[in-house]
Every structure is written in C-alpha cells, then in structure tokens.
Amino acid sequence: MKLILSGLSPETDLHKLRERMGRFGPVRGIEPICEGDPDRPWFIVDLDLPPSAATAVARRIDGIYFHGRFLHASVMLPVGSAS
C-alpha cells in the first residue's frame, strides 16, 4: 500500500527515509515528486502492508515534527476505488 508524505525538506535523504519507514514494514520503493513547488516536495512510499496497517502507519506519523518540519501522511487510494 502506498503512502503520500508531504512536509519534508527537498534535501530529504532517501536512504534515511527508507530506513525510517522500514520500521513499519518492508519498503518496496520511494518516489520523490518535485514538480510544482521544488521547496515542498512530496514522496510516495510503497510499503508491503495491507490497507488497514498502512492506514495505522499514516495516522501514527501524520503531524509529527521531523527535522524542523511537520510531516503529513495519508494513504494513497488505488485507482478506481471509492472514496
């Protein structure tokens, strides 16, 4: 299940982010998205977790203060799912 993370710095170390997110489950990949405002990138983190566990992770880390910024996290819904 994929999480969308925002609020992180453009200088975010992807290796460290993978390491930190790996505490919650296996990380399949991380995709930085820098289009739009380059000072406010967001990251798609693909975790090998079922939807309920991914939602719990997003709720747990949403709003934490990390490296001088507030992190925002949400679950990325699959295409075609009901909202």
Which CA distances in Å does 40 have to 21, 53, 70?
19, 27, 12
Residue 20 binned pLDDT confidence (cut-offs 50, 70, 90): very high
Instruction: Give the global pTM.
Output: 0.88
**pLDDT digit string (tens) for 2-19?**
999 999 999 999 999 999
Which fold would CATH assign to domain 2-75?
Answer: Alpha-Beta Plaits (3.30.70)
Residues 6+ apart with CB under 8 A from 61: 71, 73
Lowest mean pLDDT among 9-13, 18-22, 28-32, 66-70: 66-70
Domain residues of the chain, as ranges? Answer: 2-75
- Do the beta carbons of residue 29 and residue 66 sit within 8 Å? no
